[in-house]
Chain A
C-alpha cells in the first residue's frame, strides 16, 4: 500500500481524480475490511411511544406481542459535511524534493474528496485562500461535485502570502452548517493568531482538523556554509549561518509545531503534522476516525 501512497509516486500520476482514486482505493484495500463498515443503519434502542411521535417508527411486531407501542431508534443516519480550506500562498511552493507542499496538499484534498463523496456519500466543499478567499466551491452531493472540487484544486496555484485574519469572516459565512473542516496549510503564522482565527469555526459545532504541511528540509534543514535566504512570500533576504540553521532554527520550528499542536488541542481541534515525503494514509485514517466519531 505504501507504494501507492508515496507522494513521489503520486506526483508522476497526471490528474487529481486518478491520484485520489489510487490513494483511496489503495488505502481502503489495505484495511482488509468492508468499505461499508460502521456506516449502515444500525439499531440503537427502543423508546416508549409518546403522543406526537411518528407512527412510522413504531415497531409493530413488538406491539403485537406486548400490546405496547415502542418506537425503534437507529444510530447515525445523518450525512457529514466536509469542507477543505486550502492555503495557496507562495510559501506552499517550497520543495526540497520532487513534491512541493502545494502538490502534497492537493493530493491530500483530492483524496479526502474522493473518500467523502464516493465512499461516504458526504457533501464536500473547498475554500482556497491566501490573504483572501480566492475560490469557494459550496459543499454538495450533487452529481459532478467531485469533478468540480478537483478542478478547483487544479486551479489553486500558490501566490501572495498567508493571512488567516482577513478571510476569517468569509469562512464563517460559508460554514453555516455543521460539519468537518479540514485546513491544509504550512501555518507560517504565530500559533496563537492561528488558533484565535480558526477557533470561531469550532463554535459552530464543526470538527476542525489542522493538517500542518511542511517540507522535510523545513523541519531539519542542513547547511554547510552561510547562505542568503529569500522569503518566498515577502522576498525579504537574510544571510544566515550554518550554526544558526542547524541549531536555533530547529529549536524554533519544533517549538512552533509544539505550540500549534497544544493550541489546537486546547481549542478542541485536531492537529496533524504532514511531511511531504511521507505517505498519505495518515490523513485518510484521521478523516475516517473523525467521521466515525460523528455518527
Chain B
C-alpha cells in the first residue's frame, strides 16, 4: 500500500480545526439561570456522558470527512496480485488467424487451447475473444456467457493476411483505455518471427495488461513456397512472353522441386529446379501461351510440406492484339522511324505496331484508332489534320512530338501550341555539346532510363515551357522534355530529333527503355497489374468517376461490396488469396491474382529472449500446450503485483461521512435552538 501523492498528507493538519472548535465550544457553553437549585440534584455523571456521546460522534464524523478528503487527494493505492484482482479483471483471448496458421493443425490447436482456457476460468469472470491477422477482429464484447465465448472461438476461420503483433498491441491499448479493470491477455499463436513489427515498442502492452503467451508450436518447421512470380500482365505475342518464378525454402534441406506453370487450370509446362538448403532458385518459362482475354495462371511446386497453401503463386494475364502507333514524319526522314520502330520492337512485350504516314498525308487519318500518335519533326501539318489531332488530345488521346531542325522553323509546336523561339546548335567538337543536367524522375520514362549524362545533344529547339511540365533540361537550361496536359490528353514534346543527327540518343542503350516506357505511358499500359498481395488496396475509381457502379467478385464467387459501396467506394481491400474479378468505374474489366504475403511462409519462431522481453517474465511467460489446458493462470501472472488505486472508494466514504455529518449537525443545532 502506498500513496501516489503523499505531499497531500500535509492537509491532515486541518483535523486540528474541528478539534479546537469542539473543545472551545465545550468551554463556552451558556448556562441557564434558574430561580433556585433547592430541588435540583447534581446528577452530572449521566448528563456529561450523554452529551459527550453525541458530541464525539459529530466530532468523529467531521474528522473522518477531513481525513477522507486528504486521503483522496493523496491517491492511495495497494499492490494487488492478479489473483486478488481476478474478480474484476477482464480475460482477453486472442487467436492468431494469419496465413501461417494454415500450416498443419495450428489454428485448430490454438482454438482448442483457447476453449480450454475459457472453460477453466472463473464463471463470473468477464472474457472477450479476439482474432487477429494484419487487423484485429473483435469476435465478442466482454461477456461471461461461456457458450457465446466458445462459439466465438469456434467461428474463427483461417485468413490469408499477414499476422501483426503490433496491430494486436494497438487494439489492446485501445481496449485498456475503455476498460478500467486489469486485463489478462492470452495469445494463442505460432509466434512467427516475421509477424513482429519493425519496432519492438509497437508490441508493448499497456501497464494494466498482463500477457500470457500460448505458442501452438515449439519448433520451426521447414516450408517450401513460390516466393514470387514475374509475369507480364498483358501479352501480345505469347512466344515472346516469359514467366520467372522464385522458389524458396525456409529451413529446408537442398532438394529438387518440380515447378509447374498452370494456365486456366491446366498445366502448360513443368520444370525441375534444384534449390539449395534454405535458399532460393529461379525458374523461367519461355512462353506464356494464353488465349485471348483474361487467363488465370499460377506457378506451382510439389512441396509435400505442412503448408500447401503457399505452394502456388497466382497471377492473371490478358492477351490482346498489339497496339497500333501512328508515326507521322517527313517523307524524307526515314531515320527517325527506323530508330523509333527498332526501339519499340526490341522491347520484351512487342505490344506496339508502327504505322508510318507522311505529315502531308495525315488528312483523313483517324487518330482514335491508335494507342498514341508520334509526330516526328514535321515541317507542317494540314490544317484539318491538326484540328483532328487537337480534338483527339482533348478527348483523352496522347501525342509524342519530336521537335528537330525542321520543326524549329514553326512558330508553335503542333497540337501543343507552345511557342518556339528557334533552335540551338551545340558544337560537335570537344566538349561543346549539351547534355542533360536536370531530370524529373517521377516521369517513369526518364526515371527508369538513367545514364542520361552520357547522351550528347548537338541541336535542340527552344520551346517556351509556360503551361508545361519540364521533365528534363539540358545544361544550358533549355527544356528538353516537356509534358503538357490538354483536356483529358497529354502531349509530350522531345525538343530534339530521333534521327541520330541532332543527338546520339538513338545509339545509347537507354533509348530503348525510354521509348518503351514513354509508349507504355502514353498508351496507358502501365496501369494494369496481374498480381497483388493480400491486404493491399485496389483502386476502383478515380476522383472523376463518381456515382458509377463498380463490381467486385471475390475468390469465393461472392460480391463483398454492398450496392451503396459499389457506387461510392473508391478502393477495396483484397483480404483473401485467389482471383478477384473486377469491373471498374472506367468500364474496364480485370482479373487480379491475389497471393498471401510470402513472409508468412517463413515459419521461424520468435526467439525465447524476445518472448521473455515481450511478456515481461523471466521464463518468457510461455506456456506449453498441455499446461495451458490444465492451468490457464500461471503462478507468475497470479503473483504479479500492480498498483490499484482506491481513491474512488475514499471519495465514497467522504460523501457518506459528509451527509451523516450534515444530518447530525442539523439535529444538534435544532436541539440547541429549541432549548434557547
Contacts and interface: CB of A to CB of B under 8 A. Distances in A.
Interface stretch (B42-50, B224-232, B237-245): B42-50
A240 B35 CA distance: 14
Contacts of A101: 35
Contact of A225 (B36, B39, B671): B671
Contact of A232 (B33, B44, B46, B47): B33
A94 B34 contact: yes
Contacts of B33: 94, 229-230, 232
A122 interface: no
A92 B33 CA distance: 12
A238 interface: yes
A248 B675 contact: no
A276 B654 CA distance: 52
Identify whether the interface residues of A are mostly helix, strand, loop, or mixed: mixed
A249 B51 CA distance: 20
A92 B31 CA distance: 19
A227 interface: yes
B506 to A, nearest CB: 119
Given A225-B675, A228-B29, A244 B34 contact: no
Contact of B31 (A227, A233, A241, A245): A227
A253 B38 CA distance: 9
Contacts of B23: none
A93 B33 CA distance: 10
A186 interface: yes
A225 B668 CA distance: 10
A228 B32 contact: yes
A224 B42 CA distance: 17
A264 B38 CA distance: 20
Contact of B675 (A223, A240, A243, A252): A223
Interface in A210-253: 215, 218, 223-234, 236-241, 243-245, 248-249, 252-253
B40 interface: yes
B41 interface: yes
A228 B51 contact: no
B118 to A, nearest CB: 64
Interface in B20-38: 29, 31-38
B527 interface: no
A256 interface: yes
Contacts of B674: 224
Contacts of B40: 229, 238, 240, 244-245, 249
Contact of A229 (B34, B46, B671, B675): B34
A233 B37 CA distance: 9
A111 interface: no
Interface string B332-369: 00000000000000000000000000000000000000
Contacts of A46: none
Contacts of A241: 43, 46-47, 50
A240 B671 contact: no
Contacts of A218: 35
Contacts of A230: 31-34
B32 A229 contact: yes
Nearest to A162: B36
B521 to A, nearest CB: 102
A92 B154 CA distance: 98
A118 to B, nearest CB: 33
B41 A226 contact: no
A74 interface: no
Contacts of B51: 225-226
Given A239-B44, A241-B50, A227 B39 contact: no
A256 B36 contact: no
Contacts of A238: 37, 40-42, 44
Contacts of A94: 33-35
A188 interface: yes
B32 A233 contact: no
Contacts of A226: 44, 46-48, 50-51
A91 interface: yes
Contacts of B671: 224-225
A107 to B, nearest CB: 18
B50 A215 contact: no
Of listed A218, A231, A240, residue having the most chain B CB within 10 A: A240
A101 B29 CA distance: 27
Given A188-B35, A227-B32, A241-B50, A248 B41 contact: yes
A225 B42 CA distance: 15
Contacts of A231: 34-37
Nearest to A253: B39
B445 to A, nearest CB: 104
B39 A249 contact: yes
Nearest to A240: B40
A204 B50 CA distance: 55
Given A225-B51, A239-B44, A240-B40, A232 B35 contact: yes
A228 B31 contact: yes
A55 to B, nearest CB: 61
Contacts of A229: 31-34, 37, 40
Q: Which 10 residue pairs spanning A and B have beta carbons closest together?
A: A226-B47, A94-B35, A228-B31, A252-B39, A239-B44, A91-B35, A188-B36, A241-B47, A229-B34, A231-B37
Given A188-B35, A224-B671, 16 more contacts: A94-B33, A94-B35, A101-B35, A188-B36, A189-B38, A225-B675, A227-B32, A228-B29, A230-B32, A231-B37, A232-B36, A237-B31, A240-B40, A240-B47, A241-B46, A241-B50
